[in-house]
Amino acid sequence: MQEFARMQPAEAIVVPVEMAITDSDGSESDDASVVDHQLQVISKLIRKGDDVILHSPFDDTEDEWVGRVLTICEDSSKNQFAKVRWYWSRHDVAKWIGSFDAQACAPYERIYSDMIDIVSCQSILRPVNVYMYDEGLLEVSEIGPMDFFWRSSLDHKRRSIKPKITEDSCLLLCTKPYNPFPISISHAGQSQGTSALHDDPPDVMHFCPRPDCAQWYHTMCLVDSGSFDSPSVRYRGDRSIRLLAVAPDVDFPCPLLNYFCEESSDEGPYSLSEALPLMDMPSDIFTHLPPSLLSIAQGPIIRQPHMGSTDGVLPFGNVVEVVLARRFIYATFEAVCAQPGGSWLSQINSLTQQVEAMERGDQVGDLEWVDNPDDLAGERVVHNTDDDRHIKALEKVCNELAEVSLLASPYAPYWEKREQDLTIETWMNCPPLICPKCHGAI
């Protein structure tokens, strides 16, 4: 370490990486030489803070060595060295901590250790992404069965893991860990079981997105603890409305929908479309949203381990889709409340028609697109080029949209695909579970 401290800092490491690549994948900034028709050696820059694969006896296996580059230096002979903090594999941790259950971790999961070494940069094979997974976050990366990720840290001296894999997994008395990928996926594309622990079908977990909760629960743990709707209790809103009312950004239900989450002996249960008139909302309030988005927003947030199938399985949950869909609906409510009568939607439709008309060269009010200067008369605005026309149309769109409270324009094919994936797993047909903390529908 002392010798390393006397070296000169270096900005980056250049590592040659052999990759399968097509012509369209090439980059002008890459220094590449063709090995054959399908492989190229590409020079990759590795800087401080990057995660890397290092040469080991376990290359190209689930246990290959992974580390994070903390510092890069070079000696007087221009030999480069890196200070690396190690990610330990599940099997490495099990050897160091006898009580650690390696089967609680996914094959490509890593434990971020506090162990640091100085290594020659020649041992660095390539850069890699190691995703951080926080089970309570609403924004989750799309992590595949062969992607590296970590959620716990190792204190090497104390031989302890924080947080423990089972610490935040469910109810207080539940010690069953959640392994998103209990099946080992080989490079040949075949699935291999890792433990008899997973012989039974995996239990679906439900998530409460409220900031004060932010917790995953096993279905059976909730059922066993009595955290489900009583058949004798009637609510003003159906279960879909009550799911929609659980807001991901505040610790209270959506104010407009809270009324429908209350018990009632003589009202309901109302669906969302039936509830709109009772909220003084126009019946066409959601015409700008895909029906699939509405369906997903009113569904539960669920995750289930990846068991080899790919259709609809979300090992890290559908939390991103459901939360975003609910935010779209809340934003629509806010827009209508800010502009009663749905004038914001009429404004959007009017704007669209005006822009389309101007693009065709039609006259819209006092504004007309004219390509021929001889046609100029009065106060009409003349634009002789397509660029002028597009710039003016863009300016008008921006000015009008600045007055509209709208989150974004959802891409319908995306939501249709996500709804189809979720339907394949029949995740929308789950027990009527409730959060044991806030008692909201989950």
216 in the same domain as 140 = no
28: in domain: no
**Higher local confidence (pLDDT), 134 or 360:** 134
Domain count, the chain: 2
156 in the same domain as 210 = no
Average pLDDT over residues 9-32: 70
State how far the Cα of 308 lies from the Cα of 267, in Å rounded to an integer: 45
160: in domain: yes
330: in domain: yes
Which helix (H) or strand (E) segment holds residue 326: the answer is helix 319-338
For tokens 């939501």, the residue is: 415
Residue 287 structural domain: 205-349+414-428
State how beta strands 109-120 and 148-155 pair.
parallel
245: in domain: yes
Kindly report which listed range (74-88, 116-130, 193-207, 366-380) carries the lowest average pLDDT score.
Answer: 366-380
64: left (phi over 0), alpha (psi -120 to 50) or beta: beta
301 in the same domain as 249 = yes
250: in domain: yes
Q: Which residues contact 283 (CB under 8 A, 6 or more apart)?
A: 273, 276, 277
Residue 183 has pLDDT above 80, yes or no: no
213 in the same domain as 128 = no
pLDDT, residue 114, reads: 97
**Higher local confidence (pLDDT), 394 or 239:** 239
**Higher local confidence (pLDDT), 8 or 403:** 8
164 in the same domain as 209 = no
Residue 189 has pLDDT above 50, yes or no: no
Which helix (H) or strand (E) segment holds residue 364: the answer is strand 363-364
| Residue 113's CATH number | 2.30.30.490
Highest mean pLDDT among 99-103, 149-153, 413-417: 149-153
pLDDT-derived band at 286, boundaries 50, 70, 90 = very high
Q: Which of 168, 131, 136 is nearest to 148 (CA)?
A: 131
Give CA separation, 26 vs 12, 32, 33, in Å.
22, 9, 11
264 in the same domain as 213 = yes
325 in the same domain as 215 = yes
Residue 151 has pLDDT above 50, yes or no: yes
323 in the same domain as 244 = yes
Domain boundary among 139, 168, 197: 168
119: in domain: yes
335 in the same domain as 288 = yes
Instruction: Please give the DSSP secondary-structure letter assigned to residue 46.
Output: E
Average pLDDT over residues 53-77: 95
pLDDT, residue 363, reads: 56
80: in domain: yes
The two tokens of residue 262 are 């209350």
The overall average pLDDT reported for the chain is: 82
pLDDT, residue 40, reads: 85
61: in domain: yes
210 in the same domain as 332 = yes
420 in the same domain as 273 = yes
Kindly report which listed range (74-78, 345-349, 413-417) carries the lowest average pLDDT score.
Answer: 345-349
Domain boundary among 123, 140, 168: 168
Average pLDDT over residues 271-278: 96
422 in the same domain as 300 = yes
Q: Which residues contact 28 (CB under 8 A, 6 or more apart)?
A: none
